[in-house]
Amino acid sequence: MIHISYKPIKLALCILFASSLSTSCKKQLETNPLDKFANETFWTNETNARAALTGLYKAEIQMNSLAEFSPTDWWSYNGLLYLEFASDNAYDRRGDNSVFNKLSDGTLTSNNSNLDNYWMYTYKKIARVNYFLENIDKTPISADLLARFKAEARFIRACQYFYLSQYWGDAPLVTKTLTPSEANQVSKAKKQELVTFVARELQEAANDLPSYGKLTTAERGRASKQAALAFLGRIQLAEKSYADAIKSYEQIINANENNIDPNYSGLFNGTNETSKEIIFATQYLVDLAGNGMFQHNFPAIAGGWHLHCPLGSLVESYGFTDGTAFSYDDARYNAQDISKNRDPRLAFTVITNGDRFKNLKYTSHPDSTLSIDQLTTTKQATRTGYGLRKFNDEGFSGNLQNSGADVPIVRYAEVLLSYLEAKLENGDPITSDLLDKTINAVRKRSSVNMPAINVQSSTSLRTTLRNERRVELALEGLRYWDLLRWGIAKDVLKGDFYGAPFPNAKNLRIKSGGSKDPYSRWYVTSKSFRVGQDEHWPIPQNEVNINPNLK
């Protein structure tokens, strides 16, 4: 059943973040049964309203200090970061039968369990927001605070419909609490109706949200004007409304409250979560709201399950330090040290054979039979020869299923690259000054310091910009969406995919019926994205069985 009806709100919502817990809320949890908290008494004070609002952010995101085995939200680490498994950036260690892999390999069906998860949790979150908006006016709070609370709720709901519009296209548009009977009879709205709704809601939410610079330390993780404008820019880019996207991104840029952080790796490993580059992120907290991301992502040598395996095509997208494109035929390529002479972001993102992780040697060579991280098709280790460094805190020494590392959702680097894309696709003049304020500002952060991009033809710049976006935003959950909105998934997600090169390896995997790769790369998988079918996901079969209107 589609989850668009909602029961009276429960104070269990107030356990999202320690910073959101108040003594009053804790006492009420102790004295009121969680399933019997009366609606008429709940909305009587600001503390309860804040607890309810906090619950909208948290929704069903798994935060019980355990590994998240399937998506529980678009903004959970599993739900966001593992969408990369459906792209040409990464491979799921669980193999070709991984439900993420099947989103794009040509075998997607309406029975894919990830479709059920995303759909169910999305509409549960929408239901929470609808219920909140229908009741928040009862709370005796100031008009300004009321407007902000509503704006945050509308931002959260609009983002849910953003994802629905981008991945499903047509989907039910529900803005009020429904009875179970009503919920089981809803019909799909056209994609354009969802897009129009999202754009309007985000713009109106932005008008009432505080600017990023006005968020207090305790409010980190809540929506700001910039967060709403960034999502507005996303949907405008996707729908090719480039002039509108330019205006949205210019508001963020002209506010001058965000910047490019000099420290790239610290944005992802939990050591620099207050950076002004991070516009919006999911907040986790050790013990109270922990996640199991490290358990899933650490290599085996560090006690992890090595679920995340970067693909060779991603590694090959990182150029040499002088800005030229990578080539296996270039003398600077070093098979024994893949990151040598390369864009520094490669080493910040990927672990390669022979690298150190937590001061332990990572050995993924397929002939290294004694290594726990040996590249095979059977060990609980890499399937590509590469491991994940990005998002992993090598200084962490606690329970790998109890990490407090946040998951960035929107960064200022994305804003600058998206702004340049909008200007390019809108046919605006591309000047050296524009490049320096956008793509070169990203490339010139001190920990990266890659050469500047110069003015070039529109066709060349499009290729350059798309590759820069791939490298800068690598494995952050955006690549699959980018391929879909650019209309190139049909070309990119088709054919054979390889991992790391291992010259002279005895145990090199070769595609069945094929020949050895000329660069001695490990064969990983093949994809056959279906044109006209895989651009949008089918509605889960379980939902269609209940409600034929969703066919």
Strand partners, 495: 527
pLDDT confidence of residue 13:
30
Mean pLDDT rounded to a whole number for the chain: 93
| pLDDT tens, residue by residue, 383-440 | 999 999 999 999 999 999 999 999 999 999 999 999 999 999 999 999 999 999 999 9
Parse the chain into domains and list their residue ranges.
1-6+59-296+393-492, 299-391
Average pLDDT over residues 133-159: 98
For residue 5, pLDDT over 50 is answered with no
Average the pLDDT over 246-254 and give the result.
98
CB-based contact 302:358 (threshold 8 Å): yes
Nearest Cα residue to 274 out of 406, 472, 77: 406
pLDDT of residue 33 exceeding 80: no
What is the CATH number that goes with domain 1-6+59-296+393-492? Answer: 1.25.40.390
2: pLDDT confidence band, cut at 50, 70 and 90? low
Which 8-state DSSP code applies to residue 103? G
Render pLDDT for 296-351 as a digit per residue (tens, 0 to 9).
999 999 999 999 999 999 999 999 999 999 999 999 999 999 999 999 999 999 99
Per-residue CA distances from 269 to 375, 407, 469 (Å): 25, 9, 20
Q: Does the pLDDT of residue 12 top 90, yes or no?
A: no
How far apart CA 364 and CA 386 sit, in angstroms, is 7
DSSP-assigned states of every residue in 388-421: E-TT--TT--S-TT-B---EEEEEHHHHHHHHHH
Q: Are 78 and 69 in contact (CB under 8 A)?
A: yes
Helix axis angle for 412-425 and 242-255, nearest 10°, is 140
The sign of the CA dihedral 443, 448, 452, 456 is negative
374: left (phi over 0), alpha (psi -120 to 50) or beta: beta
CB-based contacts of 195, cutoff 8 Å, min separation 6: 165, 235, 239
> Residue 506 half-sphere exposure, CB side, CA atoms within 13 Å?
3
User: Quick count: other Cβ atoms within 10 Å of Cβ 388?
Assistant: 26
What average pLDDT score do residues 240-269 get?
A: 98
Q: pLDDT digits over 478-531, tens only?
A: 999 999 999 999 999 999 999 999 999 999 999 999 999 999 999 999 999 999
